[in-house]
Amino acid sequence: MGAKSIIALTLLCYLMGMMMCVLAAHDYGDALAKSILYFEGQRSGKLPFQQRLTWRKDSALKDGSDVGMDLVGGYYDAGDNVKFHFPMAFTTTMLAWSVIEFGQSMGPDQINHALDAVSWGSTYLYKSTANVPYKIAAQVGDPYKDHNCWERPEDMDTSRVTYVINQTHPGSELAGEMAAALAASSMAFKSSNPKYSYVLIKRAAQVFDFADKYRGSYNTSVGQGACPFYCDYNGYEDELIWGAAWLYKATGSQYYWNYVQNALPNVFLSSGQFGWDAKDAGINVLLSNLARPSQKVLTEADKFVCSLLPESPTKSVVFSKGGLYFQPGSQGYFNLQRITSHSFLIVVYSRYMQDAHRSVNCGGKVVGPSRLVEFARSQVDYILGSNPLGMSYMVGYGNKFPRRIHHRGSSLPSIVNHPQHIVCKAGTPYFQSKNPNPNILTGAIVGGPDMNDQYADDRTNAGQSEPSTYYVAPFVGVLAFFKGLKG
């Protein structure tokens, strides 16, 4: 089916007021390849000779020197040039989980690229925790100074200050997520690189011990470096359970199982939250497939599913006419970060349900695994272009996609074509320009449309046009899942 036919059929669905409409299948394999490629565009540090997005070059080669650490590498989180370690760790966890669950569906080429994406994050997190239990690097770059400039990462001349957490200024949510990322990455590499896997799991245990022993929020310890950009809004207890759960999954150690079981009754986990901040729904889904899942975990995981399905009497979301869901009362900004992470949990839980021969009862509506897959596909296909605008919200996928994304490197001329240094304010005209971005950040997923299924292709509208690593990381797994189904 051509692009015009898809647009016409999608418009027909929209006019009929249908929540979902069956369209011709998207090329999930192509979308998967592009989603993995995206992470090469977010790399910081010395780029390898295999770098495929060649408009990106080396950047931030002295990171960590102010605190005597090697912090070269890692990922820029979004359209800026700061390395926020909290969302970076979550991104790495989700990339690793995508490989663990769906790596077999990726194909030989893409699984290697996916593992490269995992290791770019996990190796950096390993370096960031080199001085545990004395200190852990929490972030690199002054966000206020960085956000005051529109500069390519290759040109950065703003402060690359390193923020740290330590025994007197702890950050349990950050360290807990780092432990989860290192443990999940260890599992991802267990068969292909067992030595690296062992190194990662050993460090994961050390970082978790630090997170648990020296409790406190990095909101206070890092202060304005973290807030208001990536404040932890719901406490660090969920990250401690999340980290312990991943360590149990990776090691089978009774210690971590006991830790999870002892902590769960004392922590309220909202069934519907999952992302770089709240790990609640992710914990419930992850634990539902471990040995001896508690009834509480299964009940909360079921509630998560029921909170999203359009036919569920207990749903807590609203749907646009085109079929995308939103939190009630939201403006829709950055909405796709919720869709991609939730879709990942839905397809993972559908597999767990199928293995356990379970169904979910949503207020009298009984749904099975196939219904969860169908619902997740409706959201995935919307992102890929089955929507009223016929717009793919993945950059580079399809014929119509965002051309003016809120991203410094993409919107400024490549250093290949413009080798002269572009200073802080000299980039402002490029930010304000109505021209399409000169560099295609293939695989990026933007914030997405509003409640009326409308999208402003405007880089000054960050809520709709800014992509982030933690949007794409769970989507890697979702796309691999659907690629596998098609196969």
Residue 75 has pLDDT above 60, yes or no: yes
pLDDT confidence of residue 83:
98
Q: Which of 212, 237, 381, 457 is catalytic?
A: 457
Residue 1 has pLDDT above 80, yes or no: no
Q: Hey, what amino acid is at 13?
A: C
Residue 393 has pLDDT above 90, yes or no: yes
pLDDT confidence of residue 87:
98
Q: Which of 73, 35, 60, 52 lies closest to 151 in space, CA to CA?
A: 60
Quick check: 383 and 453 in contact, CB under 8 A?
Answer: no
Report the alpha-carbon distance of residue 149 to residue 81 in Å, rounded.
10
Report the alpha-carbon distance of residue 263 to residue 257 in Å, rounded.
10
Residue 17 has pLDDT above 50, yes or no: no
Retrieve residue 21's tokens.
Answer: 């409409």
Q: Distance of alpha carbon 291 from its chain centroid, rounded?
A: 27
pLDDT confidence of residue 295:
87
Is-catalytic flag, 116?
A: no
Is-catalytic flag, 146?
A: no
Average pLDDT over residues 340-359: 96
Residue 13 has pLDDT above 50, yes or no: no
Is-catalytic flag, 169?
A: no
Report the alpha-carbon distance of residue 191 to residue 403 in Å, rounded.
40
Tens digit of each residue's pLDDT (9 = 90 or more) over 430-453:
999 999 999 999 999 999 999 999
pLDDT confidence of residue 486:
73
| Contacts with 168 (C-beta within 8 Å, 6 or more apart), sequence order | none
Residue 122 has pLDDT above 50, yes or no: yes
3-state secondary structure 413-453: CCCCCCCCCCCHHHHHHHHHCCCCCCCCCCCCECCCCCCCC
Quick check: 304 and 348 in contact, CB under 8 A?
Answer: no
Q: Confidence class of residue 192 from pLDDT cuts 50, 70 and 90?
A: very high
Using a pLDDT cut of 70, give the percent of the chain over it.
Answer: 95
**Total-model pTM:** 0.94
How many C-beta neighbours within 10 Å does residue 363 have? 10
Report the alpha-carbon distance of residue 384 to residue 386 in Å, rounded.
6
| Contacts with 422 (C-beta within 8 Å, 6 or more apart), sequence order | 151, 152, 155, 412, 413
Retrieve residue 85's tokens.
Answer: 């370690």
Q: Which of 239, 406, 450, 453 is catalytic?
A: 406
Q: Confidence class of residue 15 from pLDDT cuts 50, 70 and 90?
A: very low
Quick check: 483 and 32 in contact, CB under 8 A?
Answer: yes
Mean pLDDT computed over every residue of the chain: 93
Q: Which of 155, 238, 381, 466 is catalytic?
A: 466
H-type alpha helices, 189-236? 194-213, 218-222
Is-catalytic flag, 177?
A: no
Q: What is the DSSP letter of 165?
A: E
pLDDT confidence of residue 270:
76
pLDDT confidence of residue 194:
98
Tens digit of each residue's pLDDT (9 = 90 or more) over 353-390:
999 999 999 999 999 999 999 999 999 999 999 999 99
Residue 5 has pLDDT above 80, yes or no: no
Quick check: 96 and 187 in contact, CB under 8 A?
Answer: yes
Quick check: 119 and 125 in contact, CB under 8 A?
Answer: no
Average pLDDT over residues 226-233: 93
Report the alpha-carbon distance of residue 301 to residue 298 in Å, rounded.
5
Tens digit of each residue's pLDDT (9 = 90 or more) over 37-58:
999 999 999 999 999 999 999 9
Q: Which of 77, 80, 212, 239 is catalytic?
A: 80
Peptide bond into 438 cis (omega under 30): no
Q: Confidence class of residue 62 from pLDDT cuts 50, 70 and 90?
A: very high
Average pLDDT over residues 264-281: 89
Report the alpha-carbon distance of residue 243 to residue 249 in Å, rounded.
10
Using a pLDDT cut of 90, give the percent of the chain over it.
Answer: 89
For the ranges 114-123, 148-157, 329-338, 427-436, which has the lowest average pLDDT? Answer: 329-338
Average pLDDT over residues 222-248: 95
Residue 23 has pLDDT above 70, yes or no: no
Average pLDDT over residues 155-167: 96
Helix, strand, or coil here: 162?
strand
Q: Confidence class of residue 487 from pLDDT cuts 50, 70 and 90?
A: low
The separation between the first and the last C-alpha atoms of the chain, rounded to the nearest angstrom, is 19
